[in-house]
Structure 1
Amino acid sequence: MTGLIAAATSAADKRKAFRAGLGSGTLQRLPGAFNPLVAKLIQEIGFEGVYVSGAVVSADLALPDIGLTTLTEVAGRGQQIARVTDLPVLIDADTGFGEPMSAARTVTVLEDAGIAGCHLEDQVNPKRCGHLDGKAVVPADEMVRRIRAAASARRDPNFVICARTDARGIEGLDAAIDRAKAYVDAGADLVFTEALADESEFEKFRAGIAVPLLANMTEFGKSDLISATTLQDIGYNAVIYPVTTLRLAMYAAEAGLRQIAEEGTQAGLLDRMQHRSRLYELLDYERYNEFDSGIFNFRIEGSGS
């Protein structure tokens, strides 16, 4: 039964593993999961963690990433994903869903959902996608209050508070580094600088900050796509691929639906589909069947059954 219906690893142990991974000298790779089944695949393939993107939660609800989702929606999806994987889950908590006290409540809700860590950003609320133009950031001291509130609310000291700054594209790289230092002083364990341009900027940021750093390797954005090996060599501690799996899935789904619309059948798509047997393997159908057989293998004497 262990690890069948839910993960075998406790939330506390996943948080310990995430902290240990960030300090291990090995880059922690966290692909985004748009649903729990993808999280199982991420674990099976051998990644170190799972990421839940706010942009993906929004897109899954057919909404733009402009702060329309709620803490309840984000935490609910995070809990569904964390429940099925033994890997630590890092989640996008936007601006904390309100004032500093809201950021504090956010941390408690995400802890209860089994999440290993979250990132909070310094954008004006409501926020927008970090790789779009027209963003605005709050004054640094306001973000410091967000981080202090979040850090003060955590009950598990291993829950990771990550501070994200979007100041690079607005105030410049040096200002973003200064902000990051202030956020670390306020209690951030990990720093995420959004929309750095190229390898040299990642290097400069690494040189300026003492705590673990997270890189965002999202496609079609403002950052060059840098390999995991290079990021590790620069000294980064974690990398997220936030929307990759959703983009892959949506591209394939759109192409398939168009072919069905044009040809009237999916017969030509079978070699591009996950086979039923592979899906059943990922879902552990056989182990569920064994569990059922072990539990319901009795008969009541005299019942005629």
Structure 2
Amino acid sequence: MTLSLKQRLAQPGLIAAPGVYDMISARIADAMGFDALYMTGYGTVASHLGLPDAGLASYADMVARVGQIARGTRTPLIADGDTGYGGLLNVDFTVRGYEAAGAQGIQLEDQEYPKKCGHTPDRRVIPLEDAARKIRVAAQARGSKDFLIVARTDARTALGLDEALRRAEAFAEAGADILFIESPESEEELARIGRAFDLPLLANMVEGGRTPVLSRAELETLGFKIAIYPAAGFLAASAALDSVYGAIRQEGSTRGWPGALYPFEDFTRLMGFERIWEFEKQHQDAR
């Protein structure tokens, strides 16, 4: 039986959540038995729209992806909700929409709109009081307390760690279930965050980003409960595509390409063709 995100949080051990951004990545991850999946905004905007994660995707773009991934998987899904796509009414609408779409948690951040990816420069945050009010509205908007609010602050990069910690404390008081301080820049900063709060803490492990990528044991020791890996999937997939497409461009063939390919038969089953085959057997006399 799959535990809900809230149930899993009550158990010991780190939750390692891979970033998913389309139905291929989601189904591969779902079959592996993770405790949670993380719908990455960066990867979803890139794969769906071919655009940078800079506030260009709308609520309608993103909630449709939430519903698609949640319906197509069994693993609890945490979904990136950016800034809530506007003011307080937008936050209320976004939380209700993500919950109805099947996510078990939503990540909301305190950047100015339009937002930017958390590991890129020149991010600016809204006033603390406004940010806390958004989290309060989000906590009130959900239909069930099993739907969890992940409150993220991007204050570390522009305003320093002290301000980021102050904001996380305000978010906890406003009703957040999970705290997410984006872009700490050293293991020492991660340790300080881990000592500061009683609520579950989320660490964002971005390969090539501002934060050092640590092991499961190191993150647990520092006091973190969730580690998300939003970029690992699309970076790995992009490297593989670049390699195999390069071989096709250069050689006109994949014959002799040294990389690994997911077996075609396995992929066919991953996409659900077995049900199609069974359906056709049952109804072949009706043709």
Partner residue, 1:152 = 140
1:178 equivalent to 2:166? Answer yes
The 5 Å alignment of 1:193-272 reads 193-269=181-257, 272=260
Paired residue for 2:9, among 22, 31, 45?
Answer: 22
Partner residue, 2:61 = 73
Paired residue for 1:102, among 87, 90, 99?
Answer: 90
Give me the whole-angstrom Cα distance separating, in 2, the residues matched to 1:169 and 1:98: 22
Paired residue for 2:131, among 143, 146, 152?
Answer: 143
Conserved 8 A contact 1:23-1:237: no
Give me the whole-angstrom Cα distance separating, in 2, the residues matched to 1:82 and 1:147: 23
Give me the whole-angstrom Cα distance separating, in 1, the residues matched to 2:166 and 2:80: 22
Q: Which runs of 4 or more aligned residues in structure 1 lie more than 4 Å from their structure 2 counterparts after TM superposition? A: none
The C-alpha deviation readout for 1:165-218, integer Å capped at 9, x for no partner, is 011112211211111010111111101111011222111111111111111001
1:191 equivalent to 2:149? Answer no
Partner residue, 1:282 = 270
Quickly say closer, same or farther: Cα 1:169–1:270, change in 2 above 3 A. closer
Identity fraction in percent: 35
Deviates most, 266-275 or 158-167: 266-275
Q: Aligned-pair distance for 1:268?
A: 2.5
Deviates most, 266-275 or 168-177: 266-275
Paired residue for 1:49, among 28, 36, 51?
Answer: 36
The C-alpha deviation readout for 1:5-24, integer Å capped at 9, x for no partner, is xxxx9xxxx7x710111221
Q: Aligned-pair distance for 1:298?
A: 6.2
Conserved 8 A contact 1:177-1:209: no
Give me the whole-angstrom Cα distance separating, in 1, the residues matched to 2:253 and 2:143: 54
Q: Which amino acid aligns with 1:32?
A: G
Name the SS for the 2:31 alignment partner.
helix
Give me the whole-angstrom Cα distance separating, in 1, the residues matched to 2:27 and 2:53: 25
Q: Aligned-pair distance for 1:291?
A: 4.5
1:36 equivalent to 2:23? Answer yes
Give me the whole-angstrom Cα distance separating, in 2, the residues matched to 1:104 and 1:81: 22
Paired residue for 1:58, among 45, 52, 60?
Answer: 45
Give me the whole-angstrom Cα distance separating, in 2, the residues matched to 1:50 and 1:241: 9
Which blocks of at least 5 consecutive residues in structure 2 are unaligned?
none
Larger radius of gyration: 1
The C-alpha deviation readout for 1:68-103, integer Å capped at 9, x for no partner, is 000111111111111111111001111100001101
Name the SS for the 2:61 alignment partner.
helix
Conserved 8 A contact 2:22-2:44: no
Deviates most, 97-106 or 229-238: 229-238
Name the SS for the 2:20 alignment partner.
coil
Partner residue, 1:113 = 101
Deviates most, 243-252 or 41-50: 41-50
Give me the whole-angstrom Cα distance separating, in 2, the residues matched to 1:69 and 1:233: 37
Q: Aligned-pair distance for 1:57?
A: 1.6
Which blocks of at least 5 consecutive residues in structure 1 are unaligned?
1-8, 300-304
Q: Which amino acid aligns with 1:108?
A: R
Q: Aligned-pair distance for 1:281?
A: 3.1
Q: TM-score, normalised by structure 2?
A: 0.94
Conserved 8 A contact 2:88-2:137: yes
